[in-house]
Structure 1
């Protein structure tokens, strides 16, 4: 029996070229992870132009994992929900072809056999590389409250930042509210924002978000009285020297710079105030409003 607590967590965006939205939605409901890139029967990235996620998918099939799947958001049948399932260890990746009307071929695990039956078959309009999930759970939008940015610009990838949360979601567990690892990255950002609000009457100016734009280097941008505030939140095992560099560059007489960290910073930077996440959680759990917020964030 698979020990789910030992499995890595992955994210898959099901969005390959397809003959119809309905066909792709059927693959989604059936628990498929599909990569495309080109209509060839190969699991080797070197056979494709540009980078792919195929080899990472093949490795996940070998080691096993829990996978959260998002159906392409532009699909007419997308409903904001997600599919959660298990890749059993030592699963076999396969090739599968699809005809124009959505008819699926049988699955082939050997590239040469897939080449003969799929690449050279004029009825096959798309040749996918895939794995199939088991123990499927379809989560509607009301159930899927995981507060974490899903990896952009990717088909299949490991998702370590949400490992504790996905495991708890799978097991229906309550995570401890006083542990930094109980929170996803953007949940942690919200908690740090609440801490600054309670301790310094901080007010937010904008929500930076995402991985682009002039403010992409900062998680929190706001003010305390007449001072500007820039904040970086790092709920990680290591210290981000680049984040400290960015904050030091902004710190000044009218700007306060905060670095929130799971671990102490051995070499502080001029003007950068370091706040440990343990102190954030200790402060917030003693306040009724924020304690209720923390309980809700960690209840699955």
Structure 2
């Protein structure tokens, strides 16, 4: 049985990918994490993964993760609180690429992204960094499949949770206007990675732009309203400027520019390809129906206006 190393297993999508590969049963999974005492590390060990520590200060910090491994899933992490988030993530990605090259990894599946700043002149550092790393992996001729993810359904539980605007009224504050937005559940990424790794000859050298659904914010709102009554949901029609001003925490401009990039229609995702790779991929309607209790719990944490 081949060993697959999952780099970035403490975050999504790495954590879900590691669990899905374990559930598939075709791989020995080695989860590479910064902290072996984290809840994620504990959960992965309980599920049957080997867990190892990684340090991104030098190539030596990745040796334990890659020695003896055959394949790899890698997702770099953006830390918007870092002094230079862009260069820090690029540095992390270059080290992962160099480790794959050194250890002759025969197939790496990498979570990439499009160049936003290069194309439009405004930065989305979490995307620009991944695009630069993907370019470097191509330059050193790694046997790679690039995965590009859209908005993930689970963001409605966390970062982009609808905001309470009155009794049983919630507004989605995402600045894409009337443009339809691609999306997928992060839980679907793992089964897709398993298919790619088991069919390397078909997928090395290709990019897979995933999507399970493509809906306007009015359509997302209607689906949420239908399943979570008596709560009602609506598009707040928020502008990019207001979104950035209201965003809590670091990276607001980057996320705003990501949505602006999507609004321009520059990211062409592929629902048909996604369904080919994972026929059981959930639509947003199915995901909301399955996760109704989680959504209600997340929404109820907001104070009444």
TM-score of the aligned structures, taking structure 1 as reference length: 0.25
Higher strand fraction: Structure 1 or Structure 2?
A: 1
Structure with the largest fraction of helix: 2
Q: Look at both structures and tell me which one has the larger radius of gyration over its CA atoms.
A: 1
TM-score, structure 2 as length reference: 0.25
